Each structure stands twice: as C-alpha cells, then as structure tokens.
Amino acid sequence: MILKNKPIGIFDSGIGGLTVANAIREALPHETLIYFGDTAHMPYGDKSAEAIKYYSLKIAKFLQLLECKAIIIACNTASSLGYKDVKDFLGYNLPILNVIDPVVNYITQQGQYKSIGVIGTKATIKSGVYQSKLASALPHLNVKAMATPLLAPMIEEGFFENNISKTIINTYLSSPKLKNIEAIVLACTHYPLIQNEIRQFYNGKIDILNTAQIMALNVKQQLLEKNLLSDTKVAKHQFFVSDKTTSFENSTRIFFGNKINLQQKNIWSV
C-alpha cells in the first residue's frame, strides 16, 4: 500500500479523542482511522508528567507499528506533556500533530479577542502551555485559565445533557476566574460532548472554540501540504482500547454507528 493510503493514527486517554476522530472523518471521509483510547489510565489529567509521557510514547509506537502515515495526539494533556517526547522519538519521518498549536494559531489569526478563557484538566492548565503560547503570540491577550477536573470523568461515565452535568458545568463556568471573557477554549477533547450545555450557559454571549473542529481542518491542511491525502474511496476504521468498557463502546457507536469492532489491546508489555 502506498503511503498516502495508509491510516491516520489517533489517540486519547478515553472517549474524548472520538470528537477529534469524528471531526476528521467528516472533513476527510476517505481516510482510514486507527483510534487508541487508553481507558485503563483515564483520566490523564491527574497523572504525573512522566506517566503521561510514557503512555504517549507507548501508544505512538503502537500506531507506528500499524503503519500509520500520521499520528494525532487527540488529548490536550498528552499534547502539553508528551508531544515533544513523541516527536523527538518518532517524528523525524512521521508527522506528529498535537491539538494545542492549531488552536493557538486559530486564535492568533482571529486577532479579535482581548480576554479569553481556557478550561481543561489539572495537568493541561498546570503545564501553562496555552497561557505561554498565547502570551507569546498575542501579548495583549488576557488569558484566564482554569482547571475543571470533574468534567472529563463525568463525560467518560456518560453524564452529560442531564441535571448532574448542568450543575457541575454551571458551577465551574460561574467562577470569578472566568469573568468578562469574550471566548472560551475547550482545552480537553472530551468537552465538545458538553458544548451544547456550555453554549446554553453563556446564551450566545461569547464564542466557544471547539478544538476538535479546529484540529480536523489543520489535519486536512497538513496532509494536503505533505501530499498524504488518501485517493481511495473506502475507509476501514479500527478502534483499540487498553481496557474495554461499556461507556467507551457506547460512545464510539454515537459517532461511528453500530458496526464497530472494538478491540482490547495490551501494549504495555510489548
């Protein structure tokens, strides 16, 4: 098989990266995707930096062995803490893309915001990656970053579009830390699954930046520039998890229908 027709590898700590995979599928319907959800170690947001780097390297190596033509780190936490290590280890001949830089570039190109909120896991916010990159690109921008650690586990367990999720979301977004923002970055790929509830809270008063959609457009542009867009018409997706869970299987079917072969794979002893 020629390189351009090989699959795109995507990984995340759990179901969150499915929002990125789905956005890529919609933008690039002829591309085959191989997805790995590290459900055994979810959530990444409360793990150490060294653990996240280790998980990221092992998963990226697994996707490389499956001959992926590019690897998408569809997790803000892994992007902020594991991207450099993965790129240094695998990225000389293999495109490695993270979910942070496209969002920063998008905000920079917009150039219209004076104050912006960023919500994500503890690890992502603690890393300061959004704050530092946005400050470097837009020194005038007031970045208000806040960790929202309950959201990813809540979503992973299927609690969204209900009273529980509404209470937790409204409590977080009501924080004084996010006062007077003009836009908010959903700096966790789980969060697009609660985008409607976030939109309802703000009632159209601010822009909500969906990292999955921004990432999908970036992937399309990157593959186009590298002449790696598939010229086949049949996409055969594969889904792997480190621990098979009912919630992950149900979430996968929300995006990709019922015809899914979800495989549990132990990559840690390889």
Active site residues: 75, 188
CA 9 vs CA 43, 54, 116, 220: distances in Å: 20, 17, 31, 14
Please say whether the beta carbons of 103 and 24 come within 8 A.
Answer: no
Query: What is the rounded CA–CA span in Å between residue 18 and residue 149?
Result: 19
Relative orientation angle of helices 211-225 and 101-110, to the nearest 10 degrees = 100
Query: What is the rounded CA–CA span in Å between residue 153 and residue 157?
Result: 6
Which amino acid would we find at residue 148?
T
Q: Which helix (DSSP H) or strand (DSSP E) does residue 224 occupy? A: helix 211-225
Query: What is the rounded CA–CA span in Å between residue 29 and residue 86?
Result: 27
In the block, residue with structure tokens 């917009």: 110
Q: What angle do CA 194, 110, 216 make, to 5 degrees?
A: 50
Other beta carbons less than 10 A from residue 138's beta carbon? 18
Q: What angle do CA 215, 218, 219 make, to 5 degrees?
A: 90
Please say whether the beta carbons of 60 and 71 come within 8 A.
Answer: yes
Please say whether the beta carbons of 111 and 83 come within 8 A.
Answer: no
Structure tokens that stand for 160 in this block = 């969204």
Which amino acid would we find at residue 149?
P
